[in-house]
């Protein structure tokens, strides 16, 4: 895990590894195999592998290269080899901490009669230091369950950092995900607050803090307020070892803020369009003087008068206290979360021959809404057993209640531009509980010149949920319309198709080996997933995965992978009454990873093919039953880049080319072929403008195909959304004025069925942050 910060005249990068090492261990000779690479990367790798702290000012290590180092060496010996000829030296500050410094000039011996001199202690501070900023992430544990540099992972992995989230004034996890290629958020017909994320045209698994897939309780992560987020990671491609049973699309992992020793005292206030008001408090720091006991406390509340269609506005409350303990080889975090949210359902319209039907007024009742109330407790433990052996255990318990109380419009005729619709009132309730437990053992060792990080573990998940639904209050007329009677008066007819009781179980046995041999990195894993429920017999499958990264130069690496996935099909009955077999997936990917501008800018370009088999489709001739389609195949090209182009100029951008060819059961693609995202901020130069900056961005896509109730295809036009902001950063406070959809264009969602999501017009937000 990496912590880094830059200041105006003093910039340090701190590389931290969880387990401390005894002084004797530092001076024990062990096999070290470091390839030629940038000095900062070599120091990070050495610190991570040997469990030490290495502190290095950016100004000293930036732009420097380190030679290849291999052999049986102590940590001081390895540092001497890395720094040879650089003019730098490593000073041991304590038994587990080394500081990189400029080598002192040769010392002149004083004369025999020279009196010793005593110099006063000098403390250097920087009163003009600016807050931490950065769009680049260097490592992740999501892809491998071990802390691994992104450049060594043979998969497309993107991390949207907290600094990106803050600078964009992101209002939801969905907003954050729009920075990443091949990711779309589907709210078409959605009955959940967070929507449904898709990667490469297939449903994505959602995880929280690198745990198991949340499945039907993904709202626990997707509906979170952005003030709770530390980062959002997207791992593309099939990977059963991580999320368990899932489609081959990939994983969205939401990382929450964690306890830390570094002091945080931050309050945030935001006002925005339609009477939106939000206030949040973020506190963190050390409880004890030795900084072994730390804490985090995040609380936020949000309220809006209405949404852009006239529905009642959003209500949101979030509370998350947590504590951490770090001592010797123990790193433990225990936390609690409470989240309650209520908001209007997504605004929908219908596809017509000449474009989506205009949504000119309120559709449904003003009090139509979705809601979620979730509670969870969790722990995350890492225990260093020996310098080469680590045990990790994490568990989480969820309890969730979500509701959908709204009128839904069902199109029945499309005469020109005045569609007719039937409105039906629905009152649906979902209650769920789940418990996830993941234990693994990590071992590091060498076989000759090859470094191994071996991982073996088992994950278990159990969930219980009930769903109940009722409907009524059918109304016929033109679209849109409002003024229907209250739902509790009309939605009284039970809907058996919306009711179920489930008790699901899942376990995963997994093995993984990360091999490093010079410039070659190999990631090999195999997992056996098994799932069953009170209505489904046990289903299981083996999923082998293999990926390779070869570092051509210090800045360019080539990678490729072949991955598999497995997903049981609960409650899916085929015609004849038999249960559906598991859905399986395969994905292959190849690309290039870039680390440019002295590691200040990272990026990747890849080509991929993902396929899903045994996909069930509802049989219109036999309601309640399905048949298996020939599957879904998605191909494309992706490009992502993030980082700092020059001091004060940050950027994150992506491009996607998607090609989902038609099949017998999927006659057209509902994905835009081209999609682009760009966000950049620039700190204005000059003393007079010190602290001021501007941000600008664009979200653009090409057209895609939707369909009407008769199955006729219609084009949803291409579009571009322009965002802009201006900000001021002082020492203890900052303010940002942002405008989303600056040109106030009529915009639609990036995915549609027969329902097309309508997005808001121009929105304005003013956000102030005060550090006290």
58 in a domain, yes or no?
yes
Write down the pLDDT at residue 26: 52
Q: Considering the domain boundaries, does residue 486 fall inside one? A: yes
What's the domain count of the chain? 2
pLDDT at 374: 93
Q: Are strands 348-352 and 205-208 parallel, antiparallel or unpaired?
A: unpaired
CB 250 within 8 A of CB 237: yes
Q: How far apart, in whole angstroms, are the C-alpha atoms of residue 619 and residue 624?
A: 8
Surface-to-core class of residue 551, CB atoms within 10 Å of its CB (0-12 exposed, 13-18 middle, 19+ buried): buried
Q: What is the pLDDT of residue 240?
A: 54
What string of DSSP letters covers 719-770?
EEEEEEEEEEE-SSEEEEEEEESTT---EE-S--SSEEEEEP--EEEEEEEE
User: Among 317-321, 422-426, 469-473, where is mean pLDDT lowest?
Assistant: 469-473
Q: Sheet holding 53-57: strands in order across?
A: 2-5, 12-15, 53-57, 97-102, 88-94
| SS3 label, residue 498 | helix
Q: Domain end: 102, 136, 154, which one?
A: 102
Tell me if 189 is assigned to some domain. Answer: no
Token output for 640: 């992502």
Among the three residues 84, 102, 120, which one is the final residue of a domain in this structure?
102
Q: Is residue 591 part of a domain?
A: yes
At residue 418, does pLDDT exceed 80?
no
pLDDT value at residue 735: 97
Q: What is the mean pLDDT of the chain?
A: 85
Task: Give the integer Cα–Cα distance in Å for 585 and 122.
Answer: 62
Indicate which CATH number applies to the domain containing 726: 2.40.170.20
**Angle, CA 248 vertex, CA 635 and CA 436 arms, to 5°:** 155
In a domain, residue 111? The reply is no
Q: Using the 8-state DSSP alphabet, how is residue 124 labeled?
A: -
What are the tens digits of pLDDT across the range 206-257?
888 888 777 777 777 888 999 999 999 999 987 655 656 677 888 999 999 9
Give the tens place of pLDDT for each residue, 197-219.
889 988 888 888 888 777 777 77
pLDDT exceeding 70 applies to what percent of the chain? 88
Asked if 431 and 445 count as a contact pair (C-beta separation under 8 A), the reply is: no
- Average pLDDT (623-630) is 78
Query: Does 153 map to a domain?
Result: no
* pLDDT per position as a tens digit, 494-539: 776 667 788 989 899 999 999 999 999 999 999 898 888 887 788 8
pLDDT band at residue 661 under the 50/70/90 scheme: confident
CB 268 within 8 A of CB 166: no
**pLDDT per residue as tens digits for the range 693-731:** 999 999 999 999 887 777 788 889 999 999 999 999 999
Give the Cβ contact number of residue 760 at 10 Å: 15
Residues spanned by the domain of 61: 2-102
Task: Outline where DSSP puts E strands in 344-388.
Answer: 348-352, 355-356, 369-386
Q: How confident is the model at residue 189 (pLDDT cuts 50, 70, 90)?
A: low
Is the distance from CB of 339 to CB of 318 less than 8 angstroms?
Answer: yes
d(CA 729, CA 726): 10
Q: For the domain that residue 91 is a member of, what is the CATH number?
A: 3.55.50.30
Residue 271 φ/ψ, nearest 5 degrees: -125, 150
Is there a domain that residue 31 lies in? yes
* Residue 718 placed within a domain: yes
Distance CA 236, CA 249 (A): 6
| Last residue within a domain, chosen from 43, 70, 102 | 102
β partners of residue 30: 73
Cα 233 to Cα 160: distance, rounded to the nearest angstrom: 6
In a 13 Å sphere around the CA of 765, the CA atoms on its Cβ side amount to 23
Model confidence at 457, pLDDT cuts 50, 70, 90, reads very high
């Amino acid at each position: 895990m990496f912590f880094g910060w830059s200041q105006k005249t003093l910039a340090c990068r701190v590389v931290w590894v969880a387990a401390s090492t005894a002084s004797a261990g530092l001076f024990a000779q062990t096999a070290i195999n470091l390839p030629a690479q940038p000095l900062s990367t070599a120091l990070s790798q050495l610190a991570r592998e040997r469990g030490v702290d290495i502190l290095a000012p950016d100004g000293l290590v930036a732009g420097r290269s380190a030679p290849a180092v291999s052999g049986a060496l102590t940590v001081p010996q390895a540092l001497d080899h890395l720094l040879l000829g650089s003019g730098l030296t490593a000073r041991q500050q304590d038994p587990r901490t080394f500081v990189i410094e400029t080598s002192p000039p040769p010392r002149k011996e004083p004369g025999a009669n020279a009196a010793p001199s005593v110099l006063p202690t000098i403390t250097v501070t920087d009163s003009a230091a600016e807050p931490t900023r950065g769009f680049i992430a260097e490592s992740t544990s999501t892809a491998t369950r071990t802390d691994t540099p992104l450049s060594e992972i043979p998969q497309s992995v993107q991390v949207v950092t907290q600094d990106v989230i803050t600078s964009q004034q992101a209002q939801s996890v969905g907003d954050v995900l729009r920075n990443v290629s091949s990711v779309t958020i589907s709210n078409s017909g959605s009955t959940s607050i967070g929507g449904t994320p898709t990667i490469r045209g297939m449903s994505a698994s959602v995880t929280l803090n690198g745990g198991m897939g949340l499945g039907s309780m993904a709202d626990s992560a997707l509906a979170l307020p952005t003030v709770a987020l530390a980062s959002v990671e997207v791992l593309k491609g099939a990977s059963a070892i991580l999320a368990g049973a899932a489609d081959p699309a990939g994983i969205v992992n939401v990382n929450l803020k964690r306890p830390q020793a570094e002091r945080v005292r931050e309050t945030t206030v935001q006002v925005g369009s339609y009477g939106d008001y939000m206030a949040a408090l973020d506190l963190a720091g050390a409880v004890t003087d030795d900084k072994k006991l730390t804490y985090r406390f995040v609380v936020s509340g949000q309220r809006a008068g209405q949404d852009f269609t006239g529905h009642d506005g959003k209500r949101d409350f979030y509370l998350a206290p947590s504590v951490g303990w770090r001592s010797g080889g123990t790193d433990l975090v225990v936390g609690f979360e409470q989240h309650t949210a209520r908001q209007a359902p997504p605004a929908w319209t219908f596809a017509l021959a000449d474009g989506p039907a205009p949504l000119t007024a309120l559709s449904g009742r003003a009090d139509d809404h979705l809601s979620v109330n979730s509670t969870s407790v969790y722990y995350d433990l890492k225990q260093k057993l020996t310098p080469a052996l680590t045990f990790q255990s994490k568990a989480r318990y969820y309890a969730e209640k979500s509701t959908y109380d709204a009128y839904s419009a069902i199109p029945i005729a499309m005469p020109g531009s005045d569609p007719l619709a039937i409105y039906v009132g629905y009152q649906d309730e979902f209650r769920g509980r789940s418990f996830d437990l993941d234990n693994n053992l990590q071992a590091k060792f060498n076989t000759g010149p090859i470094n191994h990080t071996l991982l073996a573990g088992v994950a278990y998940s159990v969930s219980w949920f009930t769903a109940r639904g009722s409907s009524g209050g059918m109304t016929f007329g033109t679209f849109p319309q409002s003024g229907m009677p209250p739902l509790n008066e009309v939605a009284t007819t039970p809907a058996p198709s919306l009711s179920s009781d489930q008790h699901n179980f899942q376990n995963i046995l997994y093995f993984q080996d990360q091999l490093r041999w010079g410039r070659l990195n190999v990631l090999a894993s195999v997992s056996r997933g098994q799932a069953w429920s009170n209505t489904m017999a046990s289903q299981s499958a083996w999923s082998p995965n293999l990926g390779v990264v070869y570092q051509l130069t210090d800045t360019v690496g080539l990678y490729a992978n072949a991955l598999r996935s497995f997903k049981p099909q609960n409650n899916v009955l085929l015609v004849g009454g038999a249960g559906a077999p598991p859905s399986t997936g395969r994905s292959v990917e190849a690309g290039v990873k870039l680390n440019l501008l002295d590691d200040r800018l990272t990026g990747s370009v890849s080509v991929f093919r993902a396929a899903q088999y045994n996909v069930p489709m509802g049989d219109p001739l036999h309601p309640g039953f399905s048949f298996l389609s020939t599957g879904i195949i998605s191909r494309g090209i992706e490009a992502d880049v993030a980082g700092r182009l020059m001091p004060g100029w940050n950027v994150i951008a992506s491009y996607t080319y998607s090609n989902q060819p038609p099949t017998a059961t999927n006659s057209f693609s509902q994905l835009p072929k081209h999609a682009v995202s760009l966000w950049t901020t620039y700190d204005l130069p000059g003393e007079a403008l010190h602290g001021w900056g501007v941000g600008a961005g664009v979200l653009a896509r090409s057209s895609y195909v939707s369909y009407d109730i008769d199955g006729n295809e219609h084009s949803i036009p291409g579009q571009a959304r322009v965002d802009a902001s201006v900000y001021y950063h002082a020492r203890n406070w900052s303010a940002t004025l942002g405008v989303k959809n600056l040109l106030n264009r009529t915009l639609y969602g990036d995915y549609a069925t027969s329902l097309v999501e309508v997005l808001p017009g121009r929105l304005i937000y003013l956000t102030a942050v005060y550090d006290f």
